[in-house]
Amino acid sequence: MEGMVAKWYATNTAKSLDEFTRLARRIGSQLPPGSTVLEVAPGPGYFCIELAKLGPYSISGLDISHTFVEIARKKAAEAGVQVDLRQGNASNMPFTNDVFDFLLCRAAFKNFGQPVRALQEMCRVLKPGGRGLIIDLRHDASPESIGQHVDAMGLNAVNRILTRLAFRFMLLKNAYTKEQFQQMLAQASFRSADILEADIGFEISIAK
Ligand SMILES: C[S@@+](CC[C@H](N)C(=O)[O-])C[C@H]1O[C@@H](n2cnc3c(N)ncnc32)[C@H](O)[C@@H]1O
């Protein structure tokens, strides 16, 4: 079951590859060559693969799902890029302290079983002066904005309906409000954490 869902997600999101390319360009434009980057919960790996194409970065990805790690490794090999893709938990990362210049966590935070631990781990593995971006759905996203978002994903009719249902019955339920994020962020030791409302979600910029 988990494997089927992972494959469905990988195929569905492949249609939004543009979005990953744009995000990688945006992040890459701020990263000096040689930067160490972590993607927390990369799933099929589209962001870290697009970023790896852009420059000489040292990129790692950590995902709890064996199936997603396999999919991402295969896609990185097909793209001919080097990304260190590992299986593991965002709340207990297999990295030493102070190793990453930048980290990204997209469309995954709301799924974490121990979200505060995950924020504390993000803080621990970032270098002093390191930065990160968490992008996730917000609990109060309107049905209209979600409908528009799903329509723009380029899906066929069946997948469009399935994706809308997933937003309504699974994703929104797990998504956090701004106040909840503020409370959780206060329990990690970031130097700063700014929450911006964007589209159907938040963009949270963190700095250690
Ligand atoms: C919806 S996918 C998002 C994948 C990717 N970031 C993207 O933008 O397409 C959510 C991912 O979070 C991963 N995940 C869930 N809980 C996790 C945890 N505790 N630690 C690491 N990864 C986790 C899942 O395995 C899945 O790959």
Question: How are strands ordered across the β-sheet holding 201-207?
Answer: 84-87, 58-63, 36-40, 100-106, 126-137, 201-207, 192-198
Residue 1's pLDDT band (boundaries 50, 70, 90)? low
Read out DSSP for 37-77?
A: EEEES-TT-HHHHHHHHHSS-EEEEEES-HHHHHHHHHHHH
How far, in Å, from the CA of 41 to the mean position of ligand 1? 4
Residues with C-beta less than 6 Å from any ligand 1 atom: 13, 41-43, 62-65, 68, 89-91, 106-108, 111-113
Residue 61's pLDDT band (boundaries 50, 70, 90)? very high
Beta bridge partners of 195: 204
Q: Which pLDDT does position 13 carry in this prediction?
A: 82
- Give residue-wise pLDDT tens across range 123-181: 999 999 999 999 999 999 988 889 998 988 888 899 888 898 888 888 889 999 999 99
- Give residue-wise pLDDT tens across range 41-54: 999 999 999 999 99
Contact 10, 73 (CB under 8 A): no
Q: Whose CA is nearest to atom 27 of ligand 1?
A: 43
Q: Which pLDDT does position 17 carry in this prediction?
A: 86
Predicted model pTM: 0.94
- Pocket mutation for ligand 1, best pick of 64, 104, 172 (most atoms within 8 Å of C-beta): 64
- Give residue-wise pLDDT tens across range 75-89: 999 999 999 999 999
Average pLDDT value over all residues in the chain: 94
Q: What is the largest CA-CA distance in the chain?
A: 47
Atom of ligand 1 nearest to the CA of 62: 21
Q: Return the percentage of the chain with pLDDT > 70, whole number.
A: 100
